[in-house]
Amino acid sequence: MAQIEFSVLDRGFVRLIDHMGSDLSVVNAARVSFGKRKEVFDDADAKLIDYLARHDHTSPFRHTALTFHVKAPIFVFRQWMKHRIASEFNEISGRYVEFPEDEFFIPGSFRRQAKVNKQGSEGVVDGPEGEQARELFLGACRNAVKQYKAMIALGVCREQARCVLPLGLYSEVYWTVSLQAAAHFIRLRTDSHAQWEIQQYARAVRQVVESVFPAGLKALLGEDTP
């Protein structure tokens, strides 16, 4: 299988490692009720996939799987890992490996707190305030990593030393998910109310899923199938 990968943010990526099934797998899972099976996907199958999605007959979409290798900041994974149904994660462990220096997310700009939406942001902190915010951000992250390295040098175990590291630190996971669960993640995390950073990952995930399950994903997202 040719590797499919998209760069995200400044150091992250979304990479397809493996997958099981295709749009044809979805319709064959549905047609087994009638003892039928097809070998070639056609327009009738696209219509059946659309019918299944529109009428919430979703079990056939779960006879599929995608495994991703994702590198993202920890604060992004905190949101991502709320998606647990038909979804499994394995993450790099700070108990086993020592995190490298300068492996934290650096925003291209800093957003202002939204006045109405308490959990969201709007506009940009620019000018001298923006420069100061960047200096504070970099200083805090670099100091945290410096202290982390110093504690390890003193003989402190990795599992305790990692406690000082920032939420902007990059981590890596393997994420295995069904087509239905992937569509649910994409629908929620590409929404304008989601945090901007995870929106970028959700868009990359969508591009990967579309390359494997084009009809199934469009149907689950409520879009017209090809």
Q: How far apart are CA 110 and CA 103, in angstroms?
A: 19
Q: How far apart are CA 215 and CA 126, in angstroms?
A: 43
* Residues designated as active site: 189
Residue 70 scores a pLDDT above 80: yes
Question: Which residues, 6+ apart, have CB-to-CB distance to 77 below 8 Å?
Answer: 91, 171, 173
**Under CATH, which architecture does the 4-94+169-220 domain have?**
2-Layer Sandwich (3.30)
Q: How far apart are CA 101 and CA 148, in angstroms?
A: 10
Q: What pLDDT is stored for residue 226 in this prediction? A: 43
Q: 5 near 16, Cβ under 8 Å?
A: yes
Q: What pLDDT is stored for residue 225 in this prediction? A: 45
For the stretch 119-126, contacts whose Cβ atoms lie closer than 8 Å and that sit 24 or more positions apart, written own/partner, are 120/193, 120/195, 121/196
What confidence tens digit (pLDDT) does each residue in 42-55 have? 999 999 999 999 99
Q: What pLDDT is stored for residue 224 in this prediction? A: 59
What confidence tens digit (pLDDT) does each residue in 153-169 have? 999 999 999 999 999 99
Is 170 exposed, middle or buried (CB count within 10 Å of its CB: 0-12, 13-18, 19+)?
A: buried
Residue 118 scores a pLDDT above 80: no
Q: How confident is the model at residue 198 (pLDDT cuts 50, 70, 90)?
A: very high
